[in-house]
A and B are shown apart, each in its own frame.
Chain A
Amino acid sequence: MKSPLLTISLAVALGLGLTACGDKKEGAADGGNGTVKIGQSSPLTGPQAHIGKDNDNGARMAIDEINASKPVIGGKPVTFEIMSEDDQADPKTATIVAQRLVDEGVVGVIGHLNSGATIPTSKVYSDNDIPQISPSATAIKYTAQGFKTAYRVMTNDAQQGKVLGAYAAKLGKKVAIIDDQTAYGQGLAEEVGKAVQAAGAEVVATEHTNDKASDFTAILTSIKGKTPDVVFFGGMDPQGAPMVKQMHQLGMNVQFLGGDGIQTPKFIELAGADADGVIASMPGLPLDKMPKGPDFQKKFEAKYGQIQLYAPYAYDAAYVMVDAMKRADSTAPAKYLPELANTNYEGVTGKISFDAKGDLTSGPITLYKAQGGKWETLETVQPQ
């Protein structure tokens, strides 16, 4: 009796490891008169739920404001409605919820949060001719697949990685690189690696972890043996924070460098005093340097509390989408998609216009240093 039970238990346990739990569906809406549905998808459960909810809030705030202004499109008053779906930051779940959004008849999608979820869903939206604007997907591949429907209001990894890699090479001649094996983390890490070598520095170690891990002592010890000057991590804050903590536990006094995934208030909260000195980049300008940044921050915090990460981008993405609809004077995807390409919009995050692929034409990147519990601006770099 014992062995079969154990076998089943093991199979169940391993199976559980592969599937995520807790699928949650936000309430579906009826497509009543004058109601136009816009999809929003990000992880609303799981380790990145705080960042996903932040995107959701950003898009909601934009849509609430637009509705309050009583928009008239195509001669009819229009009320927009956000349909949120939880993609669990999981590529498989993301394609399922993407199909669900399409089936529910959304005219456009704000999302997804993660590159790993955005890339596979972009095919679903493209097949159904639904325009998609990702507020935060930075992987190069997203807009490089030739889909006419794929746009983003965020600087991509090639632009960010170049800046980070050049900066890492400036900090020291030996750079160790860790990534979390997600499309975002690995993509960024690869770009950084290339830029480090292009700048004449050496990549002494390339290690990998995953986006659910919390113990990095083994890979850090192995890295320590190679005496790098800089450790770069391509990943998100729930891993970045314990990683820098463990670096200090291991007695590594090495500069820790990261991308936009760790440039969050949560990172500083989780890492505590260990956050001091960490340098991370964020596409775009710092909030207080954005044209309408302080205004946005006030409005957002009154409604939803502290901004986590990409809320201003999700907010702009929603506005850019409605802006294209207004110029096309139609909410029909086929009608307003061509107008999306001609976007020239002054958003909270800056001037938004797209190149032929759907990437931002201008994407400044800002470097920050954590100091005394806050991210202090170091410098803003314009990529070439």
Chain B
Amino acid sequence: MDIFAQQLVNGLVLGSVYALVALGYTLVYGIMELINFAHGEITMMGAMIALAVIGALFGVAPDLPGVVIVATGLLVAIPACMLLGFTIERVAYRPLRHAPRLAPLITAIGLSIVLQNVAMLIWGKQYIAFPTTLLPQGRHEVLGASITDVQIVILILTVAIMAGLVTLINRTRLGRAMRATAQAPSVAQLMGVNVNAVISATFVIGSGLAAVAGVMVSANYGQAHYYMGFLLGLKAFSAAVLGGIGNLAGAMLGGILLGVIEALGAGYIGDLTGGFLGSNYQDIFAFMVLILVLTLKPSGLLGSKSVERA
């Protein structure tokens, strides 16, 4: 087996999940320049809701094919998270839209703590097992690297979602409205764009993506937990910043890059430094790259020239 190829695969899978969550951060930031810190928690909610549905369905109809059960869980989790995202924007962010910028940021952090605690009250403090037997357990050897069926689905789904999103932004009426709102909300409104509806739609789309990412993570690692969204959200946020926040392709690139850097860093740092630095430095490695990129190119790798606003 080729260790380097395997580390690349590890990084790609990890990075795909980061990228999917990062898309949610970047979408919202692109439209309204708000870091939605509650986004990681929406991912967690998606995983928890899907698991609850999967568990219930498995209890009622254990004979259904596993893929159908998991798909049903996903199909319930997506609209549930969309509704959650819609409500959050409506209740917590919209009243603060013209407030100083720190206010919605603090609200977002508060919301993420609230969501964590709500999840803890509903599902308890324990880790919840994802019944991995429901999904195909196949393992393939590609170019000397081992990859599972679930991981292949994660990679394909991430690319498909990314492509769909780019099409949505660039080719549809809604996408045009979103771009217009991002540039100048007041002018867009004067031109007949329903800014409130566009912002709501952004949150709904981002939350739907978060739900997909949440289910992917819990399927890949076989577990979910009320705290899982925190670190994931932090890494995804960093990925979005690395790629250039507000830029869709940047979120994708940032996510994949962060995943690969983490995998290669953790895999090789020990051997390269002769054991002086161990794999415990894997997170530091990723954040060092982030700091380096931001120092040299503050807008991120693919960051577009920021639209100056009054």
**Which A residues form the contact surface with B (CB < 8 A)?**
1-3, 5-6, 8-10, 12-14, 16-17, 21-22, 44-47, 49-50, 53, 181, 205-210, 212, 214-215, 217-219, 221-222, 224-225, 237-238, 241-242, 245, 249-251, 266, 269-274
Contact = CB atoms under 8 A, between A and B. Distances in A.
Most chain B beta-carbon contacts within 10 A, residue among A181, A206, A218, A245: A218
B66 interface: no
A24 to B, nearest CB: 9
B116 A272 contact: no
Nearest to A213: B231
B6 interface: yes
A261 to B, nearest CB: 13
B241 A251 contact: no
Given A215-B221, A218-B10, 7 more contacts: A22-B113, A22-B120, A206-B270, A218-B266, A221-B7, A238-B225, A251-B141
Contact of B222 (A1, A46, A49, A242): A242
A241 B33 contact: no
A5 B113 contact: no
A18 B291 CA distance: 18
Nearest to B298: A3
A222 B280 contact: no
Contacts of A9: 35, 105, 237
Given A222-B267, A225-B3, A46 B227 contact: yes
A274 B10 CA distance: 19
A34 to B, nearest CB: 34
A70 B148 CA distance: 60
Given A219-B267, A249-B139, A238 B127 contact: yes
B87 interface: no
Interface stretch (B128-136, B154-162, B165-173): B128-136
Q: Give the 9 A-B residue pairs with the shortest CB-CB distance, closest first.
A: A49-B125, A208-B280, A218-B266, A217-B10, A218-B263, A50-B126, A222-B267, A225-B3, A251-B146
A145 B234 CA distance: 38
Interface residues of B, number: 66
Contact of B6 (A206, A214, A242, A250): A250
Contacts of B113: 21-22
A249 B222 CA distance: 12
Given A218-B267, A222-B271, A273 B133 contact: yes
B33 A270 contact: no
B223 A238 contact: yes
A362 to B, nearest CB: 33
Contacts of A214: 217, 221, 223, 228
A48 to B, nearest CB: 9
Contact of A53 (B125, B227, B265, B280): B125
Contacts of A8: 102, 105
B227 A251 contact: no
B117 interface: yes
A224 B9 CA distance: 15
Contacts of B120: 22, 45
B101 interface: yes
B109 interface: yes
Contacts of B124: 50
Given A10-B241, A224-B6, A219 B222 contact: no
